[in-house]
């Protein structure tokens, strides 16, 4: 099988990010001026990877980021269901620390956290199933290509154990920055890390 390059980009900064809150599912939040500038710089940095297509989640902040990349690199943009951030339901709009306190997460075992279902939201397990199904569909359509996925911090965090071949608990260690680039090669159903959370292009 030909080598595929998977390039994960977290969307640019939003006001909700600045406030340290969790986005609501399907909100209309746009990028800040800084976020737009960040993604412009990310677009430049992506040129060396010669991507042929950019996929993005259906969330506005991801679509806006992906459109900037698509326009600057002259590559097709494909919006897909399934790359979205975890839906925190009634807990959206809070900080993660506030969610942990409300849900009593610190008292939960890992398995309890993995299967915990916030009111009107998704469990970690459900989110992971959705994200991996979507990733596998994208990979199967793009063998041997360099593909950009514009998604979310939480989505990238959930992907990391699968991409690195480590235990799910390891995902706690990962917190990708806005407009960061993480690159993996993919061949024979195996992923190999090239770079994680690269933000060197954002330095002025």
Looking up residue 137, the CATH number of its domain turns out to be 3.40.50.1240
Q: Is the model's pLDDT at 128 over the cut of 80? A: yes
Q: Is the model's pLDDT at 35 over the cut of 90? A: yes
Among the listed residues 43, 3, 9, the one whose alpha carbon sits nearest the alpha carbon of residue 148: 9
For residue 96, what are the domain limits? Answer: 4-202
Mean pLDDT of 40-59: 97
- For position 1, what pLDDT does the model report? 61
**Is residue 126 annotated as a catalytic residue, yes or no?**
no
Work out how many domains the chain is built from and give that number.
1
Q: Which of 13, 59, 85, 128 is catalytic?
A: 85
Mean pLDDT of 22-29: 92
Predicted confidence (pLDDT) per residue in 63-102, tens digit? 999 999 999 999 999 999 999 999 999 999 999 999 999 9
Q: How confident is the model at residue 203 (pLDDT cuts 50, 70, 90)?
A: confident
Residue with tokens 């390059």: 5
**Is residue 81 annotated as a catalytic residue, yes or no?**
no
Q: Which of 11, 59, 84, 122 is catalytic?
A: 11
- For position 74, what pLDDT does the model report? 98
**CB burial class (10 A; 0-12, 13-18, 19+) of residue 164?**
middle
pTM for this prediction: 0.96
Q: How confident is the model at residue 193 (pLDDT cuts 50, 70, 90)?
A: very high
Count Cβ neighbours within 10 Å for each residue of 17-47 and write b for 16 or more, e otherwise. Answer: beeebbbbbeeebebbebbbbbbebbbebbe
The bridge status of strand 181-187 relative to strand 190-198 is: antiparallel
- For position 113, what pLDDT does the model report? 95
């Amino acid at each position: 099988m030909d080598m595929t390059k998977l390039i994960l980009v977290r969307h640019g900064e939003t006001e909700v990010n600045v406030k340290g809150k969790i986005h609501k599912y399907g909100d209309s939040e746009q990028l800040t001026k800084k976020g737009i500038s960040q993604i412009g710089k990310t677009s430049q940095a992506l040129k060396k990877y010669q991507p042929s297509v950019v996929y993005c989640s259906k969330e506005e902040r991801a679509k806006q980021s992906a459109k900037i990349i698509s326009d600057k690199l002259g590559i097709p943009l494909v919006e897909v269901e399934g790359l979205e951030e975890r839906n925190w339901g009634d807990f959206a709009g809070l900080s993660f620390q506030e969610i942990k306190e409300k849900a009593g997460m610190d008292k939960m075992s890992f398995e309890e956290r993995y299967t915990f279902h916030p009111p009107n939201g998704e469990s970690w397990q459900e989110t992971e199933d959705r994200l991996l199904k979507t990733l596998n569909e994208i990979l199967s359509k793009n063998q041997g290509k360099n593909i950009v996925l514009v998604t979310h911090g939480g989505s990238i965090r959930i992907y990391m154990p699968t991409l690195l071949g480590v235990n799910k608990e390891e995902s706690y260690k990962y917190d990708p920055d806005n407009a960061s680039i993480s690159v993996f090669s993919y061949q024979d159903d195996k992923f190999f890390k090239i770079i994680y959370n690269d933000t060197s292009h954002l330095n002025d």
